[in-house]
Amino acid sequence: MRISELSSTTGVPVATIKYYLREGLLPQGHATSRTQATYDDTHVDRIRLIRALTESAGLSLARVRVVVDALTDPPDRRHDLLGIAQEAATPDPVTHASEQWTNAARDFIERRGWQIRPADPLIALLGTQLSAFVDAGTELGDGSALDAWADAAEIIGRADLSTVPPEPADALRQVVLGTVLGDPIIATLRRLAQQDASARYGSPDSPPDRRS
């Protein structure tokens, strides 16, 4: 198909498609003359992936490039593919973690028995986030809340992995979109579950409503 048809099929303007081509996010078409090229279904799929990552998941083009590079040259091990998808799906920390908090995060991960690369940037990110939580004077219930959150994360992580399809392009798409678009769903479920817990186990001044 011509670029005009690629545009009408995907609903993405020609100028945007040309931008993706220049940026190397979309492979070049098959040249039919010095100024014209044809495109096929792989281009349609790639444009839909870029739109899903940028529009639905709100990823920057720099993060989309990480995903696209991985598709062009997929890693041998599926576990490495997960790492790449996570890299795209994880925000850069606003501030850097202190060594003390990074160590606290590392100790926590070790105590959970989680198999994480020692240099994984998620460890420092967790340190930064824990530090912000504690610095704000917020209670972690002597750490028992953090352990409950980790128990919950294990359930979520196993469920996430179970939805990942075998083909590398589909797997990358699922992990990136499922992680980025899943986070707000989990945050909302958390608030709903807080309400349910409050109605169900609330203190005496908050009698639970009768179940229907």
Q: Where are the alpha helices (DSSP H) in the chain?
A: 3-10, 14-22, 41-51, 61-72, 78-89, 99-112, 121-135, 144-162, 168-201
Question: Do 131 and 97 touch, CB atoms closer than 8 A?
Answer: yes
**Single-letter amino acid code for the residue at 145:** A
Shorter beta-carbon distance to its own copies: residue 43 or 173: 173
Considering the rule CB under 8 A, would residue 193 count as an interface residue with its own copies?
Answer: yes
Q: Contacts with its own copies in 114-153 (CB under 8 A)?
A: 114-116, 120, 122, 125-126, 129-130, 132-133, 135-141, 144-146, 148-153
Q: Pick one of 27, 86, 106, 169: the residue that binds its own copies (CB under 8 A).
A: 86
Cα-based angle 205, 194, 176 (whole degrees, multiple of 5): 170
Residue appearing with tokens 């997960």: 82
Residue 54 binding its own copies, by CB under 8 A: no
Shortest separation between residue 31's beta carbon and its own copies, angstroms: 30
Figure out which of the listed residues 9, 16, 38, 174 binds its own copies, where binding follows CB under 8 A: 174
Site for its own copies in 6-35 (CB under 8 A): none
CA-to-CA distance for 94 and 129, rounded, in angstroms?
Answer: 10
Stretch that binds its own copies, among 10-18, 26-34, 35-43, 160-168 (CB under 8 A): 160-168
